[in-house]
Amino acid sequence: MSDDIRELILDLPLVDTLMSDDIRELILDLPLVDTPDRPEGTIVIRRTDVPEERRREADDFVIANGGQIGQKPLLEVIGGKTPEGAAASETFYAVPVAALVAQ
């Protein structure tokens, strides 16, 4: 491989970074779950709001950025009520706000 081609390849943005930006944008467009006991510094969204074909990528993004994926009681609210409109066995993402800021 010539030095010119190697240099061009090294200057290309990493695919991982592009994917992170893409999934970050997708997550930012999702509706938030209003729950008073979310982990500090996070937003909460329903995993089912992520298109099924992108859930694995979203799972990886959340975990790689220090977030959590869980069901109740992770997000169980005071008084034993689930977030409005949520099923008892529904899965949620708690995504750190810092992970959603473009880098």
Amino acid of residue 36: P
Q: What is the pLDDT along the chain (103 residues), one digit of tens a residue?
A: 445 544 544 444 443 444 568 899 999 999 999 887 788 899 999 999 999 999 999 999 999 999 999 886 544 544 555 556 555 678 999 999 999 886 6
pTM comes to 0.67
Run of H or E including 55: helix 55-64
**CA 69 – CA 47 distance, rounded (Å):** 8
In this predicted structure, what is the pLDDT of residue 90?
Answer: 84
Q: Which residues, including other chains, have CB under 8 Å from residue 88's CB and lie 6 or more apart?
A: 72, 82
Cβ-count burial of 65 within 10 angstroms (0-12 exposed, 13-18 middle, 19+ buried)? middle
